[in-house]
Amino acid sequence: MKGLSGQVRLFPVVFDKGSGCTMEDVDGNKYIDFSSGIYVTTLGHCHPKVSEAVARAADTLMNAHDFTTPVKVRLLEKMAEVLPGDLKGYQLYDLSRFSKERGILLMADEVLTSMGRTGKWLCLEHWDVIPDVVTLGKGFGNGFPVTAMVVREEYADAVDTSKPINWKRIIQFNGEYGCTGDLGMHVTHVPFRAGWVPQNVRSILSDLVPTRPDGKGGTAPCETWDNATLLCETLNPVDGKMFPWTVKIQRIAPGQKDTWYCEVLGMKKSARYSSKNTNSIEILDYTTNKDQAWQQIDMGHETAFKSITAGIFEFGFSDSILQMWAAYLYELVHGKPLKKFAGCVTCEETALNHKLLTAALESHRERTTVEIDG
């Protein structure tokens, strides 16, 4: 016989039935199932209540795709009742703090460890911290293909596919660029101003939600790209050498809302910044720090154009808009920017951005690296 798994070759047995934690082969020999069907039959084989529920469901409704059913509603209500926290769920404290400080979404994979396997509904209930996402499976369906992803309410909108379609997802209004068109310049304007010039690009474009409600009771196709990852060979204007630059442009980014970040990894020093923590910057100095530990500096902020928001307060999106207006008016009056990084986007930077995005479309379509015309 062909197609045998490694387990069958090591243990040539033909199982006929099971009950609780035991299994019986066709010759009547009984075995204790220490693997629980590879960590799935948490309640044992052929539990009477499970068998009854499966038989009842098979005689009522076999498949309803993503539509709501009474069984799904009862399951969700029960999950909300028994799972801890506002997820509800838990994770290790140090990892939780590290993720929260850096705006990283923390996900707990409880496929193998949930449903009482460690004495609690979730294994991470043993530690007093809460994750952002928890995945459930295996024992969650006691051997049947039942899975779930539980998301904290504040992040649920990031993966909400029920939001009606808008102009950003229609080629007629947003063009083939998709997310790279309406978000791309936000990502590239600072690196372009620093003189970073991409020479080529290999891109991966993702259409994560192919359809959305059309607001009229039906659905409409999402024609544009949701997320884009661009890997570029980029020219350093200081020494004329090439370095790798990864550009991420994402509409769907769980845990992020209007976030801009930049991370530079060097041989001697590294730095990273995120608009989530606009008053802080992280530095890693290899010459003085042999442990390669990041140092966080809370430095406040100082805007290019003075405003009523002092540097010790939080800088928000409205403050960014004020700075953009001020930069435009300053250039309108003086004919030049106040500072190198405090000016409007130039025509040359806009043209370079279009060359990069056009090459990214070709790269994804042809699945190859595309040169960017100078």
Positions of the chain with pLDDT under 50: 1, 3, 88-90
Task: Give the other-Cβ count within 10 Å of 241's Cβ.
Answer: 9
pLDDT of residue 90: 45
- So what's the pLDDT on residue 10? 63
* Residue 149 token pair: 């992803």
First to last CA, the chain: 61
Instruction: List, in order of start, the domains of the chain with CATH numbers.
Output: 6-57 (3.90.1150.10), 70-159 (3.40.640.10), 167-371 (3.30.360.10)
How far apart are alpha carbons 113 and 42 in whole angstroms? 10
Q: For residue 89, what pLDDT is reported?
A: 44
